[in-house]
Amino acid sequence: MERLDRAMCNSDWRTMLPEATVRVLPRAYSDHSPLIVYTQGMHSHIPPS
């Protein structure tokens, strides 16, 4: 299997949101994995997957 689900950004976006991260969630009913983009970084109250 190959990972086809991705998030993209450009250098302006990274400059504006330097702490942004992407989290890949488990697949449920599709062959695609949902993505969550955290624009202020990942916070400690969010449990790891």
Which contiguous run of DSSP H or E holds residue 13? helix 11-16
In a domain, 49, yes or no: yes
Range of the domain at 38: 8-49
In a domain, 46, yes or no: yes
Beta strand 35-38 with 21-24: parallel, antiparallel or unpaired? antiparallel
In a domain, 3, yes or no: no
The 10s digit of each residue's pLDDT in 9-49 is 999 989 998 988 888 888 888 788 888 888 886 654 455 55
Report the predicted TM-score, pTM, of the whole model to 2 decimal places.
Answer: 0.60
| Per-residue pLDDT at 7 | 85
In a domain, 27, yes or no: yes
Task: Provide the domain count of the chain.
Answer: 1
In a domain, 2, yes or no: no
In a domain, 1, yes or no: no
Q: Give the residue with greater pLDDT, 6 vs 14.
A: 14
In a domain, 18, yes or no: yes
- How far, in Å, CA of 27 to CA of 3, rounded? 12
